[in-house]
Structure 1
Amino acid sequence: MNASRIALVTGANQGLGRALVEGLAARMGPDDLVLLTGRSHRRVTEAVGEVSRLPATRARVEGRVLDVTDTEAISRLAEDLRARHGGVDVIISNAVARVRPEESQAERADEFIDVSNTATHAILRSFGPVLRPGGRLLVVASSLGTLGHLDPRLRHLFDGASLDQVEYAVESWRGAIHNKTAQEAGWPIWLNVPSKVAQVAAVRAVAAERRARDLATGTLIASVCPGMVDTATSRPWFSDYSQAQSPAQAAAALLDLVFTEGADPALYGELIRFGKALDWHDGTPPVEQDRILTP
């Protein structure tokens, strides 16, 4: 990576995103810059102050207010970082919409899709071109993001799809939810499965176009599954947290991907969990009465 590196994390006020910022700030150097982003100016400012005061922090930490549902704002931030710094070395797309078990999945679909999918597409489109050689662009997804978790009727929409085709499939899913035709078409009630499959498919699409060039320069684009993490977003969904990781523990495996030299061809473009690529075609469709969340 460059002598002076730039890292950016979305959804970084709390939970895993905050832990990722803390880890980056501890493992990068005094000449490096870590950008902590979130929607609330107050919370971003408070989080930056707290991370900056941690004894382990070495890099500079700055805040940027960013609503990831504003695709134009994502584009402006990417262009600003290109103009100011010549590009970015680490982008971790981590923002997620919080949905509680008692809430209607259909009623929350627009916000969930906008935060998890529309924003992922915008980050890939805007930050992919400003990712410097040797950099990392990681999208936090889930092991539910493998294709086999979808009804067989839907898998062709995402298998080998371009980013445009993934976007079209996501909007078709959104339309089916609004038209109340989603279930008969095979879409699960739970938003998390199609959303995560689409995130992974979007990463695979962009990676397929860049693979040779990125591997030659040690650049890694991938989706990542952090495992079960004890956060405010996931806690309402689990009755047993005995196996859950703290955000700092979960961040460690992701940060290892950031700081490992080069790019492993076996991991490039894949969904990575604990340092290993998951089989894209693995998984079985969920039983609707099961609680589905982000493990």
Structure 2
Amino acid sequence: MTTPRVALVTGATQGLGLALVEGLAHRMAPHDTVYLTGRDLTRVTEAVDAVPGGGAQVRGELLDVADPHAAARLARQLRDRHGGVDIVFGNAVMRVGPDDDPRAVIEQYTEVNNFGTTRLLRAFAPLVRDGGRLIVVASSLGTLHQLAPVLHRRFDGLPSLDEVDRQVAAWRDAVKDGSARAGAWPGFVNIPSKIAQVAAVRTLASQRRERDAERGVLVAAACPGMLNTPTSALWWDVSAAASPAEGAVALLDLAFDPARPGQYGELVRHGEVVPWSSLAFSAGPVHAT
């Protein structure tokens, strides 16, 4: 008998995260389980109730990635229930608007978007079974091409997730004390944050590459492209952009299609690798989601 598969999505009570849960449930079998997670129990329950029937079982779980212990705690629970996981989408995100003061929001922003990402990677990477997928939802902004060359060393070739966290903390502190504004850092905090997310994926992948290749495991970051969401509409004209359900399709394909070695440890957009370094970057439209 085939072992039931287990999938998990963080930040899944609305938008892209909810679309990923719905897509996973549709593509997986009735004996499989998809965990819909979020930090508010009421919203988690409502989101689970809203998922169309059929396909895999959808279960709600509380997971606040800003809690330093929450990801590890849930990982232990899923290990005890299922023995491992097959698909993990790290999608939890705190969004900022044009009127937000970066100095006021940066601490919580990095706790969710960046430290939340590295906590998820540490907690769930050891649980990914053969043929599994560990995917962080990022952005085309998450490349060194978007950062001043003097800052590239901050995120390129880092030896550990701890070092990724240290670099994020240094940037966070510079935003908080205002020194980032006088330096080379971009004013849009989404850019360094997304670069650090991709750097975390690349760092983890560098440590696991050989073994994951043997096991058919894919570790990657993924960009869904510009999406028509209320938050994106604060920054850009998204009237012609894809819906969250449309944007989820390429990410789901990445999770279910055969692993392509060239995608391992990379940022993938619509099946194609987005080059990490500015030297390799090919000109084209850049989207912020």
**Which structure 2 segments of 5+ residues have no match?**
280-285
Task: Give the alignment's TM-score, normalised by structure 1.
Answer: 0.92
Structure 1 residue aligned with 2:38: 38
Q: Which stretch shifts more, 227-236 or 246-255?
A: 227-236
Query: Alignment partner of 1:11: what SS?
Result: coil
Please state how far the C-alpha of 1:293 moved relative to its aligned partner: 7.5
Give distance in 2, aligned partners of 1:277 and 1:175: 32
- Cα shift readout 1:135-157 (whole Å, capped 9, x = no counterpart): 10000000000112111111001
Which has the higher mean CA deviation after the structures are superposed, 196-205 or 92-101? 92-101
1:230 and 2:228 are equivalent in the alignment: yes
Larger mean CA deviation between 110-119 and 228-237 belongs to: 228-237
Aligned partners of 2:245 and 2:275: how far apart in 1? 26
The 2-side partners of 1:38 and 1:24 are apart by: 17
Tell me the distance in 2 between the aligned counterparts of 1:252 and 1:25: 13
Tell me what 2:145 maps to: 148
Aligned partner letter, 1:9:
V
In structure 1, how many angstroms separate the alpha carbons of the residues matched to 2:188 and 2:105?
Answer: 11
What residue number does 2:282 align with? none
Aligned to 1:294: 288
1:278 is matched by which residue type in structure 2?
A: V
Offset at 1:121? 0.6
Write out per-residue CA displacement over residues 223-278 of structure 1, whole angstroms, 9 at most, x where no aligned residue.
00000011232121113522x101111000000011113x2110000000000111
Give 3-state SS (helix, strand or coil) of 1:178's partner: helix
The reply on whether 1:190 has 2:161 as its aligned counterpart is no
Q: 1:293 to 1:183 in 2, by over 3 A?
A: farther
Percent of aligned pairs sharing the same letter: 51
SS, match of residue 154 in structure 1:
helix
1:139 aligns with 2:133: no
- The match for 2:243 among 235, 243, 246 is 246
Equivalent of residue 282 in structure 1, options 270, 278, 286? 278
| Counterpart Cα distance in 2 of 1:77 and 1:185 | 39
1:91 maps to 88
Q: CA deviation at 1:71?
A: 2.2
2:170 pairs with 1:176: no
8 Å CA contact 2:13, 2:47 repeated in 1: yes
Residues 177-222 of structure 1, C-alpha deviations (whole Å, 9 max, x = no match): 1222112331112110000000000000000110111111110000
Deviation per residue, 1:16-51 (Å, 9 max, x gap): 000000000000001100000011111110110111
Partners in 2 of 1:115 and 1:95 — Cα distance? 7
Residues 1:71 and 2:68 aligned together? yes
| CA root-mean-square deviation | 1.5
Tell me the amino acid that sits aligned with residue 258 of structure 1. A
Q: Residues 157 and 203 of structure 2 are in contact (CA less than 8 Å); yes or no, is this contact kept in structure 1?
A: yes
Q: Is the 8 A contact 1:144 1:294 kept in 2?
A: yes
Aligned to 1:24: 24
Distance in structure 2 (CA, Å) of the matches to 1:112 and 1:232: 18
Q: Which amino acid aligns with 2:198?
A: V
SS at match of 1:106: helix
